Structure 1
Amino acid sequence: MMKLDGITAFVATVDQTSISAAARRLGLAKSVVSERLAELERALGATLLQRSTRRLTLTSAGEAFLPRAQRILREMEEAAAEIDARSGKLAGPLRISAPVGFGILHLGPAIARFLQEHPGIEMSLDLDDRFVDAATGGFDAVLRHGAIGDGRLIARRLATSRRLLVAAPSYLAEHGKPTSLTELEGHTAILYANRSGDWRFAAGSGWTVMRPRAALRVNNGIVMRDAVLAGLGLAMLPTFFLHQEIKTGALIEVDIGWPAEGAELFLTYPRDHGAASKIRAFGDSLRRSFGDPPYWEQP
């Protein structure tokens, strides 16, 4: 019968690439780790690691068993976290992915507050502007702004944001300020590369779509904002990227008579996730930190 300490020894050995390093990480003697590995291999009836004087390599059986072993240990951690949550204590790892720009501008203080509230949690944060699948990407939860539309996921709304069409005073002084969709068509745009380049405006009960000419396409909102500040063109950005620049007058809102499509920030995670209590607590803490309405929407 497989024992959990053997699985722990196996995963630690793979992570550390040697039995000696795994023993140091686990606080055990090297001989104990070696015996636990051997016992696990006997229980499975297969060799998991090919040992040599220089290094350890996974056998085909080891490669097949490793993701299952990692999942077993992760589920054990999450089960322990669930028990802690029922007793009012949250602990253990929490892996979060978030967009780069939003993370840089808004997540530092919010995460610090959450970890002060729950010092037993060990958080890892990965900032990435690419699409991250919350169901299969290896994270416990993913922060995302925009529609979800995935039945595998729970999506908790954290905050809302308007999208504003903005330009620098220098750009408007040179090119004029458009006041209608027709006038807007002659202007240059800074577009977000990871979503449709369309600009959508609410017109009555439907949407009016414009496809502007792009001076720059980039997958980061902060770079988009900086390009607009430099006078390269207009951009449509959520207020959480530019609320300070609007207040100071460094950027000017361009009103063409119709409001732009809004943005919403969600925390998404798989429906059957074992760490749901930690994720919910994290979401609740973020909502308190952002406020309702969020501080980037307050006058």
Structure 2
Amino acid sequence: MMKLDGVAAFVAVAEAGSISEAARRMGLAKSVVSERLAELERSAGARLMQRTTRKLSLTEDGQAFLERARRIVREMAEAAEELTQRRGTLSGPLRLAGPISFGSLHLGPALYPFLAAHPLINLSLDLDDRFIDVAADGYDAVIRHGPIRDKNLIAKRLGSSRRLLVASPAYLAANGTPASLDDIVAASAILYTNRETDWRFREGAGETVIRPRAALRVNNGVVMRDAALAGLGITLLPTFFIHRHLADGSLVHIDIGVEAEGAELNIAYPQNRSSSAKIIALTEWLRKAFGDPAYWEV
């Protein structure tokens, strides 16, 4: 007889692409996942995966079994979810992804009291600035600062953030305060490499795009902020990175009469997770924790 933990291991390995990554996602030893997979194949009487030293791939039988296995795992998760709802408690695994800097500055502090209020939830939080394929990478939900273009995902707004041009008082004293978009183009800029290096500004009903000269390119918002604090140049950052520095005067907002493109903060999850009590509760918790308007905008 096939065991559910073996079916779950098979789905995790198929989605992760390796036993090592599946074990990391499941919080298990690699040897445990390997044994569960081997036991499943013995029970099924068929080889479901082809293993070589370089890669792992599904056999023809594995491809045929995968969709049913996914359905089995999903239905068992939904059944467990329904039981917790009937008991009025939230419990079980919850796998969440979010951006690194926002995660450490704001998401983590919002999650700690959520977990204290729901101690039976087993949360796995992965912070990564790369694009996350929520379903394929095995996440229940992802926090994103920016548009959600995947039509297979449900997106719920958590808040918003303006992007402001900022620099240190020392930089502005040495180089002058820009008063126009042309001045910004000529300034030294600190740019984010994981996003288009264009800076977009709304002018009337249209949009103006500028390409500033880079003094530094980096893939981390906190480093961008710290480079601006060090007087390296001007940068364009969401307010959740800089609200405290604007308040204490260590960074100065450069007002050139036009507004930079802002962004929404969303939680996104696959459509088959839309009725999850844990996702619903987490969404409402984060909305209240961030506020409306968000506390970094006040």
Give me the whole-angstrom Cα distance separating, in 2, the residues matched to 1:63 and 1:281.
Answer: 36
**Kindly, what percent of the aligned residue pairs are identical?**
56
1:202 is aligned to 202
Gap change, CA 1:254 and 1:135, over 3 Å in 2: same
* 2:198 aligned partner, one-letter code: D
* Secondary structure at the counterpart of residue 186 of structure 2: coil
* Shift, 1:265, TM fit: 0.6
1:27 is aligned to none
Give me the whole-angstrom Cα distance separating, in 2, the residues matched to 1:101 and 1:79.
Answer: 35
* Shift, 1:229, TM fit: 0.7
2:138 is aligned to 138
Give me the whole-angstrom Cα distance separating, in 1, the residues matched to 2:35 and 2:150.
Answer: 39
2:255 is aligned to 255
2:264 is aligned to 264
* 1:41 aligned partner, one-letter code: R
Checking the alignment, whether the CA contact within 8 Å between 1:163 and 1:238 is kept in structure 2 is: yes
Give me the whole-angstrom Cα distance separating, in 2, the residues matched to 1:20 and 1:177.
Answer: 59
Give me the whole-angstrom Cα distance separating, in 2, the residues matched to 1:142 and 1:9.
Answer: 22
Gap change, CA 1:239 and 1:281, over 3 Å in 2: same
* Shift, 1:202, TM fit: 1.4
Give me the whole-angstrom Cα distance separating, in 2, the residues matched to 1:272 and 1:145.
Answer: 22
Give me the whole-angstrom Cα distance separating, in 2, the residues matched to 1:66 and 1:17.
Answer: 20
Gap change, CA 1:183 and 1:274, over 3 Å in 2: closer
Give me the whole-angstrom Cα distance separating, in 2, the residues matched to 1:213 and 1:58.
Answer: 46
2:104 is aligned to 104
Instruction: Give the number of equivalent residue pairs.
Output: 279
Q: Deviations over 1:222-249 (max 9, x none)?
A: 0110111111111110100000000000
2:42 is aligned to 41
| Structure 1 unaligned spans of 5+ | 24-33, 51-56
1:31 is aligned to none
* Shift, 1:221, TM fit: 0.7
* Shift, 1:20, TM fit: 12
Gap change, CA 1:295 and 1:59, over 3 Å in 2: closer
For the pair shown, which has the larger CA radius of gyration, 1 or 2? 1
RMSD: 3.2
TM-score when scaled to structure 1? 0.81
Checking the alignment, whether the CA contact within 8 Å between 2:49 and 2:62 is kept in structure 1 is: no
Give me the whole-angstrom Cα distance separating, in 1, the residues matched to 2:283 and 2:8.
Answer: 31
Matched, 1:89 2:89: yes
* Shift, 1:73, TM fit: 3.7
* Shift, 1:71, TM fit: 6.7
* Secondary structure at the counterpart of residue 266 of structure 1: strand
* Shift, 1:101, TM fit: 0.5
TM-score when scaled to structure 2? 0.81
1:155 is aligned to 155
Give me the whole-angstrom Cα distance separating, in 1, the residues matched to 2:73 and 2:179.
Answer: 59
Gap change, CA 1:9 and 1:152, over 3 Å in 2: closer
1:225 is aligned to 225
Gap change, CA 1:210 and 1:5, over 3 Å in 2: closer
Give me the whole-angstrom Cα distance separating, in 1, the residues matched to 2:143 and 2:171.
Answer: 33
1:192 is aligned to 192
Gap change, CA 1:182 and 1:275, over 3 Å in 2: same
Checking the alignment, whether the CA contact within 8 Å between 1:84 and 1:91 is kept in structure 2 is: yes
* Shift, 1:19, TM fit: 6.8
| Structure 2 unaligned spans of 5+ | 13-18, 24-28, 51-55
Give me the whole-angstrom Cα distance separating, in 1, the residues matched to 2:238 and 2:110.
Answer: 19
1:241 is aligned to 241
Give me the whole-angstrom Cα distance separating, in 1, the residues matched to 2:265 and 2:117.
Answer: 22
* 1:259 aligned partner, one-letter code: E
Checking the alignment, whether the CA contact within 8 Å between 1:159 and 1:290 is kept in structure 2 is: yes
* 1:284 aligned partner, one-letter code: E
* Shift, 1:78, TM fit: 3.8
* Secondary structure at the counterpart of residue 273 of structure 2: coil
